[in-house]
Amino acid sequence: MRIGMGYDVHRLTEGRKLILGGVDIPYEKGLLGHSDADVLIHAVMDALLGAAGLDDIGKHFPDTDERYRGISSIRLLEYVRELLKAQGLAVGNIDATVIAQRPKMRPYIDQMRKNMADALEIPVENINVKATTEEGLGFTGEGLGIAAQAICLIS
Ligand code: MG
135 is in an annotated binding site: yes
Using CA atoms, how far apart are residues 56 and 47, in angstroms rounded to an integer? 8
Alpha carbon of 144 to ligand 1 centroid (Å): 15
Q: 73-86 vs 39-52: helix axis angle to the nearest 10? A: 10
pLDDT (tens digit per residue) in 124-135:
999 999 999 999
**pLDDT more than 70, % of the chain:** 100
Residues 21-46 have a mean pLDDT of: 97
pLDDT (tens digit per residue) in 87-105:
999 999 999 999 999 999 9
pLDDT (tens digit per residue) in 9-33:
999 999 999 999 999 999 999 999 9
42 is in an annotated binding site: yes
Alpha carbon of 1 to ligand 1 centroid (Å): 26
Burial status of residue 72 (CB atoms within 10 A of its CB: 0-12, 13-18, 19 or more): middle
User: Model-level pTM?
Assistant: 0.98
